A and B are shown apart, each in its own frame.
Chain A
Amino acid sequence: MKKALSIMLALIMVIGLFAACGKTTDTTTPASPGTTSQAPTTSSEAPAPQPAAEEGKVFNIYAWNEEFKGFFEKYYKVPEGITVNWIINPSDGGVYQDKLDAALLAQESAAPDEKVDMFLAEADYILKYVNSDFTLDVSTIGVKEAPTMYKYTVQAASDANGAMKGVSFQCCPAALIYRRSIAKDVIGTDDPVKVQEALSDWSKFDAVAAQAKAKGYYMTASYVETYRTFSNNCSMPWVDSNNKLQFDPMILAWIKQAKEYLEKGYTLPAGIWDDEKNQQMFKTGKTMCFFGPAWYYNFCMGNAMDPEKGCYGDWAICQGPQAYFWGGTWLLAPKGTDNPTMLKDVMDAFTINEEICSNLVKNEMQFSNNSAVNEKFANDPNYGNAFLGGQNDTAVFVELAKNIRFEHKTPYDQLLNENITGVFLDYFKGNITEEQAYQNFYKFVNEKYPAIITP
C-alpha cells in the first residue's frame, strides 16, 4: 500500500513538474499587471534577410470563415509545388483567436509545414496582433504601401512605430441604406441627394424619425443600427493611457439616442443580427433606414433580395448623418513564416493587382482596397447596382472612403463594442436604471479584460 502510494506520488510529481515546465514556457512576455493598454512595441527590429531558396511547401492560412477563401481560390494562382492549407475556426466563443494565439505562441518551435504563414483579422481586434511581437513588418519581405491603398487600411495594420504588418483586401466605408418607397412617403423624395439633405445630421435625422413614426414606419429596425456611426467616430479610445475605462461623448450620445428611439417607438428592441430586424427587410417591412458598408447589403440583406417577398431595387444609399466605416478584413503576416515570397505575392495580388481587384468589385460586389480600380467603376456611367435601383454605389463609396478615420482604437474594442449594446438593453427597456446598466457593463469589462480598470 505504501509503495503504491509512493508510486502515485512520484507520478503526480513527475507530471506536475512536467506541467510546471509547460507553464514557464507559456509565459512569453512577462510584464507587470496594470501596464498600459499599448502592448509592448518592438523597437526597430533588424529586417532578417530571408533565404529565398529554402521556402516551405505548405502555406497555412488561419481564418474564421470562408469569405476570403472563396476569393482566394477563385482569383489567386498558387505557385507550383505549394499546398495551401486553410485552418478555419469559428469566431464564435473566441475559438478563432484562441487557436490563432496558440499557434502564434508556438510558432517558433513549430515544424516548418505547421507554421502560420498568413492570418486574417478584423478591424475590432487587429491592434492586438499588429502591436504584438508576433507579426512581421511586411516591408522586410517587400510589401510596400501602395498609393492606391486607402490610408486608414494601412494605418490600421501599422504598429506604433509605423511598421506595416499586413494589408487589407477591402475598404469598408459605410452608408445609410434606405427604402426608396418609404423615403418617398416620409420625405417626399427618393433621390439620394435630396434624402441626404434631409438626413445630413442627427437633429434632422430625429425629426424625420418622428415623421416616419407618425406615418407608421420605423426609422431603424434595431436599436443597435446606428451604433457604428457613433463608435467609429469617437475622439478618444475606450481606455485612457492608464488603462482606465472611459466613455467617449459619441458613445454617450448613442446611449441617449437608443433610449429615446426605443421609448418613442422609432426603432425595435432587436439586435443587429436578429430575425426581428431582418424581417423588416421584406417588402412588408416598415423600416426606412439601415446602416452598413458594401458587404452589408450584399451579404446581410438576403431578405430584401428574395424574389418573392423581397423588394429588390427599392433601395438606395447616401452618406447619412455621419460618415463612418464598419468592419473589414486584413491579411496579416506572422513572424516566422517559411513562405515569405508567396506571402508577399498574395498580399500584392489582393491590393495592387488591378485585374483581381476589378474582379472583386465587378463579380463580388466588394469595395476593393485599390482606389484606382474603384474610381474606374465610379466614373463608369454604365456601371450601376440593380439592387439599388441602378444607383452607382461605388461612386458613393469613393466619396465616403475619403472620410474614414481609423483612430483611437484599442485591442479591446471588439467585445466592448459588441456588448455595450446588449448590456444597456435592460436600461433601454426600463428594467433597470442607467446606473445599474453601467455597473453591469463594468462587471462585463472586469470579466473579459482584467487589465482594464473600471470605476
Chain B
Amino acid sequence: MSEYREQKIAVRHKSISYAKWGYLFIAPFFIVYIICTLIPQFLTIYNSFFENYMDGLRHVGPNFVGFNNYVRLFTPDSNGVIGILKYSANTLIIWIMGAIPQFVIAMLLALFFTSGRLNIRGQSFFKAVIYMPNLIMASAFSMLFFTLFSNVGPVNQMLQQMGITDKTIDFFGITIYVRSLIALMNFLMWFGNTTILFMSGIMGIDQELFESAKIDGASSSKVFFKITLPLLMPIVVYVVITAMIGGLQMFDVPQVLTNRMGAPDRTTMTIVMFLNSYLTPSKNYGMSGAISVYLFVLTSLLSIFVYRGMIRQYRSRIR
C-alpha cells in the first residue's frame, strides 16, 4: 500500500494531478465494502449454484447443481402458480400502494414547509412528529397494529359500536385489508423521511429563481412544475429509486403482521420473506442465493427502467 502511495506522489510532482486524492478518498469505502459486503455477496452468488443446507445438525453439500436452484424457483406448483412471481407481484403491489401516497404527501408537505407565503407555524414540531414513526422498531410497530386490528381489537370494537358493521371484520384474513395495512404502515414509517429529503432538496434550490418567478407572476403550480420539480429531480430520482429498492426488500412489517405466513394464501408474502423462509432453520444457501440473485436482477431492471423514465421526463422538463 505504501509503495503505491509513493508512486502516486511521484506522479504528482510531474504534473498537478488530483487523481490520487480521488483514489484515496474512495479507498476506505471500497476496502470495507469488499471485506464486509462483496465477499459475502460473492459467496451468495456462488452458493446459488450449489445444493448447500443444514438438515438438523447435518450439513448437506455443497454439491454443484448448476442451475437447478433457479429451475426449482420457476417451476409452477400443481395449481400452476409460480411462487416467486406471485411474491414479486405481492411485493410490488404493496409497495406501490404505500409509495404513491408517500411521494405525493411528502412533496406536498415539503412545499408547505418551505413556502414563505404559507408561513406554517410550529414547523419544527410538525417536522419532528412526521418522522417519528420511523423511530419505532418495525417489529414493535407491527405488533401494535396487530393488536389494533385483531378480531377483538379496538378497531373492530369501534366499528361495531358505531354500527358500521355487525360482524367482526377479519382484517388479517382478507388480502386487500392485509395489503392495505402493510402499505399504510410503510407509508407512516417513511413519508416523514421522504418529506425531509424533499425539503432539504427544495431548500438547496437557488431562492432567486423563485423570486424572479414570483415577479413574473407565475402561478404556484407553474412554479412547481417548471422550476421546483425539474431542479429537484436528482433528489426525486434518489428518493424514488431508494424507496423502490427498500420496497422490494420489504420484510419486517409483513413478517410480524402475518406471523411469517404471508397470509391469506401467501398473498402478502414478499420476496425477502420468501428468502428468509429458506434461511431458518435450514440455512439453505443454495435456494436463498438463487432468490437473492433473482432479486438483484429484478431490482436492477426496475431501477434502470425507473431511472431512464424519470431522467427522460427530467430532460423534457428542463427544455
Residues of A within 8 A of B (CB): 3-4, 7-8, 11-12, 15-16, 19, 23, 26-33, 39-40, 93-94, 97-98, 101, 104-105, 128-129, 131-134, 268-271, 274-276, 279, 411, 415, 419, 422-423, 425-426, 429, 431-432, 435-436, 439-440, 442-444, 447-451
Can you show 24 pairs from A to B with CB atoms below 8 A apart?
A3-B4, A16-B39, A19-B43, A31-B60, A94-B281, A128-B56, A132-B57, A132-B58, A133-B57, A134-B57, A269-B170, A275-B152, A276-B151, A422-B263, A429-B170, A435-B79, A436-B79, A439-B78, A442-B77, A444-B277, A450-B55, A450-B282, A450-B284, A451-B53
Q: Which of B54, B57, B61 has the most CB of A within 10 A?
A: B57
Q: Are B39 and A12 in contact (CB under 8 A)?
A: yes
Residues of chain B within 8 A of A134, CB atoms compared: 57
Q: Are A439 and B281 in contact (CB under 8 A)?
A: no
Residues of chain B within 8 A of A101, CB atoms compared: 54, 57
Q: Are A39 and B57 in contact (CB under 8 A)?
A: yes
- Chain B: interface secondary structure? mixed
Residues of chain A within 8 A of B232, CB atoms compared: none
Q: Are B266 and A411 in contact (CB under 8 A)?
A: no
> How far apart sit A23 and B52, CA to CA, in the bound complex (Å)?
11
Q: Are B34 and A11 in contact (CB under 8 A)?
A: yes
Q: Closest 6 CB pairs between A and B?
A: A94-B280, A447-B277, A451-B55, A128-B56, A132-B57, A411-B56
The answer, among B39, B53, B261, for a CB contact under 8 Å with A450, is B53
Asked if B212 CB lies within 8 Å of chain A CBs, one says: no
Q: Are B265 and A440 in contact (CB under 8 A)?
A: yes
For A30, give the chain B residue with the smallest CB separation.
B59
Q: Are B59 and A15 in contact (CB under 8 A)?
A: no
Count how many chain B residues have C-beta atoms less than 8 Å from C-beta atoms of the other chain. Answer: 51
Q: Are B60 and A451 in contact (CB under 8 A)?
A: yes
Asked if B42 CB lies within 8 Å of chain A CBs, one says: yes
Residues of chain B within 8 A of A94, CB atoms compared: 280-281
For A131, give the chain B residue with the smallest CB separation.
B56
Residues of chain A within 8 A of B54, CB atoms compared: 101
12 new A-B contacts, CB < 8 A, other than A436-B79, A447-B277, A448-B281, are A132-B56, A269-B151, A271-B259, A423-B261, A425-B173, A426-B264, A426-B265, A431-B174, A432-B264, A435-B78, A436-B265, A448-B282
Given contacts A28-B59, A450-B60, contact A431 B173 (CB under 8 A): yes
A415 nearest CB across to chain B (Å)? 7
Q: Which of B63, B151, B170, B282 has the most CB of A within 10 A?
A: B282
A3 nearest CB across to chain B (Å)? 5
B109 nearest CB across to chain A (Å)? 36
Q: Are B278 and A447 in contact (CB under 8 A)?
A: yes
B210 nearest CB across to chain A (Å)? 45
Residues of chain A within 8 A of B83, CB atoms compared: 443
For A278, give the chain B residue with the smallest CB separation.
B152
Residues of chain B within 8 A of A450, CB atoms compared: 51, 53, 55, 60, 282, 284, 287
Residues of chain B within 8 A of A29, CB atoms compared: 57-59
The answer, among B4, B151, B280, for a CB contact under 8 Å with A98, is B280
For A410, give the chain B residue with the smallest CB separation.
B56
The answer, among B30, B58, B77, B280, for a CB contact under 8 Å with A439, is B77
